Amino acid sequence: MENAYTAKAYSAASETAPLAPDTVPRRNPTDRDVQIEILFCGICHSDLHQVRNEWGEFMPTVYPCVPGHEIVGRVTKTGPAVENFKPGDLAAVGCMVDSDHTCPNCQEGLEQFCPNMTLTYNSPDKHLGGVTYGGYSDSIVVDERFVLRVPENLDLAGTAPLLCAGITTYSPMRHWGVGKGQKVGVVGLGGLGHMGVKFAHALGAHVVVFTTSPGKTDDARRLGADEVVVSRNQDEMQKHAGSFDFILDTVSANHDINAYLALLKHDGNLTLVGAPEKPLALAAFSLIGRRRSLSGSLIGGVAETQEMLDFCGEHNITADVEVIPIQKVNEAYERLLKSDVKYRFSIDMASLKSG
């Protein structure tokens, strides 16, 4: 293709294949495009769901699939109409790379709900045809309107996960007004959960972590939790009945949400951000007795993502990461399934050059 160049990447060839070295086409930067050399890319549990086609009913995976939507890097080239970036700048890309910019959602800064939004991977690619390819790659080319600025004081490996795990937990907390005087629960201490704890703490709430992993208790406190509950312990759960203003549920697998709804006060809200493969069972009485509400949330808009990054810059917040070379990505996926990550894998993309 004349309008494209070849980038190195890791892709999955089918839902049962491990990720393996590959090459993908990337468009040469057009007018508004920013070309970024990727330095770090976080591993989100959504990458694993998508690679294994676990969301087949809603968004079937197109193979080969190059996942990765927690991207930080340096600008290498810009199109002539680009205004806010120049070669050498730090830059970041999250879960979206385009939208129609005209619909009511886009007008409101809620590009994540745009009916014509393009996801960073596995979405129809308007420029080259086929689908978009994500950040497990040495470079990416993105419309400047979806490229974020990175505060200079933050560690880059720990900044990458902010682009999904960060915004996905920050956005619902802002929407539901998490702040001082509130009791806030975070269910699941993985990539999203540990960011949720950091944000709820920074926003001034009393934070309670619910975990199935007793070994994470000390870390939960270090990350900002005031209390930690091992959720398999019924007595410990019962002590918190009817006491929460807000609970953020980040669990990636099937679990009993009614047990958490029972912990909300009247008018309390539980927001699901975890996206398990199978439907969750809801008991009507979990909600109606106390006018509780159950809702969901999807990442966040571009402006809010920038606000979150700036908030992280001011409060010196990054993800706690285990940096890995890309050659270890399949092993990392297996560990993710065992809740064995502290608390986000971040791929050092320099490893792709050598491998």
For ligand NAP, the binding residues (CB under 6 A) are 44-46, 49, 164-165, 168, 188-193, 211-213, 216, 250-253, 255, 273-275, 297-299, 336, 339, 341
275 part of the interface to Zn ion, by CB under 5 A: no
| Residue (106 or 261) nearer to Zn ion, CB | 106
Q: Which of 19, 34, 36, 46 binds Zn ion (CB under 5 A)?
A: 46
94 contacts 299 by C-beta, under 8 angstroms: yes
Tell me the residue type at 147. Answer: V
Q: Which of 31, 100, 108, 155 binds Zn ion (CB under 5 A)?
A: 100
Q: Which residue is nearest to ligand NAP (CB)?
A: 190
Point out which span in 92-100, 123-131, 211-219, 273-281 binds Zn ion (CB under 5 A).
Answer: 92-100
Residues in the chain: 355
Q: How many helices (H) and strands (E) does the chain have?
A: 12, 16
Q: How far is the CB of 235 from Zn ion (least distance, A)?
A: 34
| Residue (7 or 167) nearer to Zn ion, CB | 167
Instruction: Give the separation between CA 146 and CA 151, rounded to whole angstroms.
Output: 16
Residue 99 contact among ligand NAP, Zn ion, none, beta carbon within 5 to 8 Å by kind: Zn ion
| Residue (85 or 170) nearer to ligand NAP, CB | 170
Instruction: Give the separation between CA 281 and CA 48, rounded to whole angstroms.
Output: 23
Residue 241 contact among Zn ion, ligand NAP, none, beta carbon within 5 to 8 Å by kind: none
| Residue (26 or 216) nearer to ligand NAP, CB | 216
Instruction: Give the separation between CA 135 and CA 203, rounded to whole angstroms.
Output: 30
| Residue (76 or 293) nearer to ligand NAP, CB | 293
Residue 248 bridge partners (DSSP): 186, 271
As given in the structure block, the two tokens for residue 280 are: 């969750």
224 contacts 197 by C-beta, under 8 angstroms: yes
Tell me the residue type at 342. Answer: K
Residue 305 contact among Zn ion, ligand NAP, none, beta carbon within 5 to 8 Å by kind: none
Which 3 state secondary structure label does DSSP give 335? helix
167 part of the interface to Zn ion, by CB under 5 A: no
Point out which span in 25-33, 48-56, 106-114, 330-338 binds Zn ion (CB under 5 A).
Answer: 106-114
Residue 203 CB neighbour total at 10 angstroms:
19
164 part of the interface to Zn ion, by CB under 5 A: yes
- Burial (CB < 10 A; 0-12, 13-18, 19+), residue 298, is middle
Which 3 state secondary structure label does DSSP give 347? strand
Binding site for Zn ion (CB under 5 A): 44, 46, 99-100, 103, 106, 114, 164
